[in-house]
Amino acid sequence: MLDTLPLSPFQIWSVLMIAATVILDGLDNQMLGLAAPSLIKEWGIDRQALGAVFALGFVGMAVGTLASGWVGDRFGRRSALLFGVGLFGIATLTTGFSQSVFQIAAFKMLAGVGLGGVPGTASAMIAEFTPARWRSVAVTFGVVCVSIGGILGGVAASMILPGLGWRWLFYIGGAVTLVFTVLLWRFLPESPRFLAARPARRGELSAMLRRIGHPDPDTIVLPLGDARIDYVPMRTLVQAPLLRDTAALSVAMLSGMFMIYLMFNWAPTLLYSLDFTLPSASLGLTSFNVGGTIGAMLASLAIVKFGSRIPLITMALVGTVVCVLLALLPIKGAQNEGALLAGLCGLGLFASAAQSAMFAVGAHAFPTAVRGRGLGLMGAAGRLGAILSAFSGSWLIGAGNAGFFGILAMLMFVNAIGFFAVRGHVPRISPADARVSRREIRV
């Protein structure tokens, strides 16, 4: 029914609120990576110990990703999203009060539980608020907000770290997140598709449909004949016909998140070790996120026109080439800063943007009954890639940019193979499907 209605201001406002949670996820997710050079300098932390801290955070994210998928499918997307944002807001704020590496590790793991579930839950919720002709654009916009959060984090770090120090980065980020959690609790609605599967919440659904613009929602006959809800088990995801897409998307997510989190957590430290200044190191990550933001929105438009298969495979392959060029670029001693920043922007434009669009593919490939858990399983595979990046990051920094970006080139090629293997890609939206008038709706 939503596919036959125009996109209403209520839906747009709801999507923007959900997308804001992903901005905060991206902002808080990258804080420790941005603060890492300052922590190494101030506390003398060994890079291997810092890698273990990152890894614990990713373990928490894996737990949070799977847990939020289950909570979202059983109790509602809204509940899962509120819990995740509130939890990582508290953990981020308290990280600023840490007095030891152990405390930072504990708070990072707690924050990870909250952070892990937000992108997948937000993607499922955005998909269920938007009609099919806008879905890939909306979901990709929601996921690209991770990069927008990273841009804000990089800019904030370049201003806060030199004068106020790393603690204030966590104080401000945590406080902003907690204030927004209160606003979400007050104004964020539940997913209409989730409500449609629960006859006991019919009144809540009818009120929402009126706000969306349906002329008489009380006359809608829902497909469920009784109040009993058949629970679809998670094993459905690893059985035909979903097994191939589950496996391919998980492989693509693992390799893609290895690349993303290697950049988020270790790129500033890599550049600092190669004699770039602290503001320049932060600017490098900002350039990567700027490219990712622009690329993801261009990718969403390309998906509408061509479907997701060709754009995502192409972007992953171009990202592979960019990684090779960055591996060959001489940057030791802060050389070629302009070319480096351009290359990092290009890496975001193609490689990072492809990962942002992956959630749109998952939201299309998995049916509603298992969508939250399907995206959660994809996310858990991504967390495994992130854990591997945490442990390998300190070693790759020692190998310089050649080893760091050389590994990323191989990962992006694997990423392209994963995209190639997916069957449930988002199809091309025909011009006829995109033209839906109010007159047609009334008829």
Residue 257 is which amino acid? M
CB 357 within 8 A of CB 143: yes
Residue with tokens 């919440």: 201
Q: What is the per-residue pLDDT across 36-48, written as a single tens digit (0 to 9) for each?
A: 888 888 888 877 7
Residue 325: its pLDDT value, please?
Answer: 95
Q: Classify 47 as helix, strand or coil.
A: helix
Residue 130: its pLDDT value, please?
Answer: 84
Residue 320: its pLDDT value, please?
Answer: 96
Residue 219: its pLDDT value, please?
Answer: 59
Rg, C-alpha atoms of the chain: 21
Residue 256: its pLDDT value, please?
Answer: 93
Residues of the chain with pLDDT under 50: 224-228, 434, 436-443
Q: What is the per-residue pLDDT across 216-253, written as a single tens digit (0 to 9) for each?
A: 666 565 554 444 455 677 788 877 888 888 999 999 99
Q: What is the per-residue pLDDT across 169-189, written as a single tens digit (0 to 9) for each?
A: 999 999 999 999 999 999 888
How far apart, in Å, do the first and last CA atoms of the chain sit?
A: 13
Q: Give, in words, the CATH class of 2-213+236-425.
A: mainly alpha
Residue 183: its pLDDT value, please?
Answer: 93
Residue by residue, DSSP assigns 110-165 as: HHHHHHHHHHHHHHHHHHHHS-HHHHHHHHHHHHHHHHHHHHHHHHHHHHHTTTT-
Residue 412: its pLDDT value, please?
Answer: 95
Residue 382: its pLDDT value, please?
Answer: 84
